[in-house]
Chains A and B, each alone.
Chain A
Amino acid sequence: MNTIWFILTTTSIIFCIFTGKTEDFTKALFDATKSAVEVSLYLLGIISLWLGITKIIEDSGLIYHISKTFQPIVCRLFKKIPKEHPSITSITLNFLANLLGLGNAATPLGIKAMQDLQTLNEDKETVSFDMMLFIVINTASIQLIPFTVVGILSQYGAKYPSSIVLPTIIATVTSAVVAVINLYVFKKFFNRKK
């Protein structure tokens, strides 16, 4: 992240100076702080909501039923997760929320899943392979129906707004598979270099 942040900020400053947009830069800077606060306040609400709900799931023992049902699938993907670990439930719920396009639930549950995965991590400062796999699958965003997009298309009078659904599903599933393969290729390469 250090490299990414360095590249993004420095190149934008250099570009702004060369194109004479320094004023826009300063404005964008303070706009960013404002949006960060707004998004965080919004996150505070939905994270607390889903942490509250998952606490009920834990206290009532429902968590064991969920993790037992989805254990075979989740543990096949994430090899280092032991049986009946809380991360199975948070990962399952995050994937389901993503699949149904429930962004408001997916992000908080994903954050919960990352924290659960961190409890299994040996080196707390370094990302574990299971965490990387979880993030890669999340950024590939497998979604059944992109409602927002279909909504915009039909609002502007598209003939068949839902015609994009099938290509979207094919594209998103293929790119998720490619992303996971990509991760394994990097893993192999990285281990060899060591």
Chain B
Amino acid sequence: MKIIYLISQLIIPVFIFFVIFYGFTKKVKVYDSFINGAKDGINLTLRIFPYILAIFIAIKTFQVSGIFDFVKNLLYPILNFFSIPLEVLSISIIKPLSGSASIGVFTDIVKTTGPDSFASKVSAVIMGSAETTFYVLAVYLGAAGIKKTKYLIPVCVISDIIGIVIAIIVTKILLG
């Protein structure tokens, strides 16, 4: 655990050192190369910006609209039946939408239910195993300039839901 943490701390500096050093030994003008590559960053970011804006508008307004509470009330009996804590639902809805908001919700769950509660554990596993799907979709598709997505969106949404169910089951078996 500590070793992996150390590796992940070291990997970026070591990797960048290696790349620059290797380039230098191959007689590449590393500074000019870097500038040449970095130059493209401005155009690329400008191109992605409208996609980020659109997805942020959708996500932020969705968050304040109160739909969450509505969905929570709707799904409450099902969760109760499987004896799954209600907090798990909050994290499941928020995680695919927003990374920073999900950290807030997760911290809140840990604070209110305690760090060793089942709700905290399930939420932790969901936090680690789910991704901010819609942001990734918007940015990646925007960067490539894709307009037609075929069946990609339903695949991602369904996979997200299955992923959350898997996370709950795995936590229940191993830590429940």
Contact = CB atoms under 8 A, between A and B. Distances in A.
Question: Do the two chains bind?
Answer: yes
Interface of A: 1, 3-5, 8-9, 11-13, 15-16, 19, 21, 24-25, 27-29, 31-33, 35-36, 39-40, 43-44, 47-49, 51-62, 100-102, 105, 107, 110-111, 114-115, 117-118, 121, 123-127, 131-132, 134-136, 138-141, 143-150, 152-154, 156-159, 161-168, 170-172, 174-175, 178-179, 182-183, 186-187, 189-190
Contact of B35 (A16, A52, A100, A146): A52
A56 B30 contact: yes
A182 B162 contact: yes
A42 B30 CA distance: 24
The secondary structure that dominates the B interface is helix
A43 B45 CA distance: 7
Given A19-B65, A182-B155, A59 B23 contact: yes
A164 B125 contact: yes
Interface in B97-156: 103, 106-107, 110-111, 114-116, 120-121, 124-125, 127-131, 133-134, 136-141, 143-156
Contacts of B158: 182
Given A126-B146, A150-B124, A179-B155, 17 more contacts: A4-B134, A19-B66, A29-B60, A32-B56, A33-B56, A107-B139, A118-B146, A126-B148, A138-B140, A146-B124, A164-B121, A164-B128, A168-B125, A170-B170, A175-B162, A179-B163, A182-B159
B128 A172 contact: yes
Contacts of A9: 57-58, 61-62
Contacts, number: 334
Nearest to A178: B162
Contacts of A179: 155-156, 159, 162-163
29 contacts: A1-B137, A1-B138, A4-B153, A5-B55, A13-B65, A16-B64, A16-B65, A24-B64, A28-B60, A28-B63, A28-B64, A52-B35, A53-B34, A56-B30, A59-B33, A62-B23, A115-B44, A132-B150, A145-B8, A150-B124, A152-B107, A164-B125, A167-B125, A167-B174, A170-B174, A171-B166, A171-B167, A178-B166, A189-B151
